Amino acid sequence: MHSSKRGLIKDMSKKKIIIRMSAFLALMIIIDQICNFALVQPGLSRIMFHELKQGQYNCIILGASHGSYGLDPEIVGTELKKNTMNMCMGGEYMIDAYYTLEYALDYNKIDEVVFDIDYQYLVNYNDVNILHNNVYNAYPASVHKVGYYVKRVLGEDYRGTMLRWTNYWQCYKYMGRTIRKKLSSEYKTYNPSVVNMNRYDSYMGEGFTFRNQHHKKDSASCLDWNESKVSEQEIGYIKKLVSLCKKKGIKIVFTTVSQDPATVAEKESGFTAADAYISKLAQELDVTYLNFNKIRFDEYDRDSDDFYDREGHMYGESAEKFSQLYGKYVNMALMGDETYKSAFYANIGDMVKAYKGN
């Protein structure tokens, strides 16, 4: 009798401890969610994923910020004769692109994928904190998110995974405005007006951001190519992406959007090595690679004034001009028409020579 009573007390106290621990955890999660709601700023990526979910696209462009500023999907789509969605986002690594495609396939009947590769993303995977990753932060809840989560973030700083608001904590001054925005109908209907954008930028829909020519030129330049820093994991995801496309019968082409020719000339050896590396990879994977840094100047006349920084992000007007050519040659490549090659220089060196000759 005595020992059973003691056992009962022990059980009670165990239960009490478990309830207390669960209550504490729940409290932490609630506070975390409140912080997320009040501090995390609404971004374009959330809207882009929503647009993608509408399921009206049969071509998707994947890539990073060069693509989001450089490719108007409406113009590219006209050339491709496909409803095209530009899912290029600043900070989109190969793994992010792969999971974006997985998500896109759930809602769309995709038959063409254009994968824009900026070599910088192959060499700096380990230099960037997950807190700044737009794709991960906006990736909607889905079955794929579990796989994405395990592969992408379990190894990263716990703050990026568990405490997303960390990156925005200095927005506490705008907490009231953020909460009001998130409670507004515009936010609920994915209206881009809720996004705090650079005042020279306009979101044109379907993933394209138009930067006004009045924006003062930034000084940011390209990272140097360094083959020893190429992330094996990133290359693995390019291969996975290609094999997923092949498995689903989707045509795929690799591209690199044109960058400031002055930067290409300045870092000629790096661009040449990166071009050789990606070309070799594309060849191994049996995918056509169009490096638009090599497009002839008589096809696409460009200079530093077409880009708002040395790294190679385009102004909107240049982007619209470029998108038409981009769509045209990507379409030829996808159709197996090899005459597109005549519009490109044989190598980066020839392009630089032509640029300097101008």
Partner 1 sequence: MSYISAGFLFTIALGALVYYLFPKKHRWLVLLLISLLYYTSYGFSNLVYVLFTCITSYIISLKMSEMEDKVHRKRLLSVVLVLNFGLLFLLKYCNFMIGNLNSLSEVFGRNLNIAKLTIKFPLGISFYTFQTMSYCIDVYRKKTEPERNIFKLLLFVCYLPQMLQGPIGRYERLGLALSEGSDFDYRNIERGAVRIFYGLAKKLILADRAFIFANNIFYTPDKYSGVYIIAGILMYSIYVYCDFAGGMDLVIGASEVFGITMDENFRQPYFSKNLGDFWRRWHITLGQWMKDYIFYPFSLSKACQKLSRRAKKRFGRVYGTLIPICLSNILIFFIVGVWHGASWKYIIYGLYNGLIIAMANILKPTFEKTVKLLRIKSNSAPYRVFQIVRTFILVNIGWFFDACSSASGAFKAMGQTFKNFSLKVVTDGSLLKVGLGVREIKILFVGVLVLFVIGVLREKGIDIREWIMKKPLPLKWAIYIILFFIVAPFGFVSASTEFVYAQF
Binding site for partner 1 (CB under 8 A): 14, 17, 20-21, 24, 27-28, 31, 35, 126-129, 131, 153-163, 165-167, 169
How do 208-211 and 201-205 pair as beta strands? Answer: antiparallel
Q: Shortest distance, CB of residue 122 to partner 1, whole angstroms?
A: 15
> What is the distance between the alpha carbons of residues 70 and 274, in angstroms, rounded to a whole number?
20
Burial of 243 (0-12, 13-18, 19+ CB in 10 A): exposed
Q: Shortest distance, CB of residue 33 to partner 1, whole angstroms?
A: 13
Q: What are phi and psi of 117, to 5 degrees?
A: -110, 120
Q: Which is closer to partner 1, CB of 172 or CB of 191? A: 172
Q: Which is closer to partner 1, CB of 121 or CB of 345? A: 121
Q: Shortest distance, CB of residue 134 to partner 1, whole angstroms?
A: 15
Q: Shortest distance, CB of residue 262 to partner 1, whole angstroms?
A: 27
Which residues are CB-neighbours of 308 under 8 A, at least 6 positions away? 69, 211, 215, 217, 218, 314, 315
- Vertex 136 angle, CA 323 and 227, to 5°: 70
Residue with tokens 């049996």: 286
Q: Shortest distance, CB of residue 158 to partner 1, whole angstroms?
A: 4
Q: Which is closer to partner 1, CB of 127 or CB of 286? A: 127
Which residues are CB-neighbours of 95 under 8 A, at least 6 positions away? 148, 151, 152, 233, 234, 237
> What is the distance between the alpha carbons of residues 200 and 195, in angstroms, rounded to a whole number?
13
Q: Shortest distance, CB of residue 169 to partner 1, whole angstroms?
A: 4
Which residues are CB-neighbours of 347 under 8 A, at least 6 positions away? 272, 275, 294
Q: Which is closer to partner 1, CB of 9 or CB of 183? A: 9
Q: Shortest distance, CB of residue 37 to partner 1, whole angstroms?
A: 15
Q: Are the C-beta atoms of residues 329 and 335 closer than 8 Å to each other?
A: no
Q: Are the C-beta atoms of residues 39 and 159 closer than 8 Å to each other?
A: no
Q: Which is closer to partner 1, CB of 164 or CB of 267? A: 164
Q: Which is closer to partner 1, CB of 55 or CB of 236? A: 236
Q: Shortest distance, CB of residue 3 to partner 1, whole angstroms?
A: 18
For residue 314, list its beta bridge partners: 307
Q: Which is closer to partner 1, CB of 175 or CB of 244? A: 175
Residue with tokens 């060849």: 283
Query: Within its chain, how far is the Cα of 172 from the centroid?
Result: 27
Q: Which is closer to partner 1, CB of 129 or CB of 283? A: 129
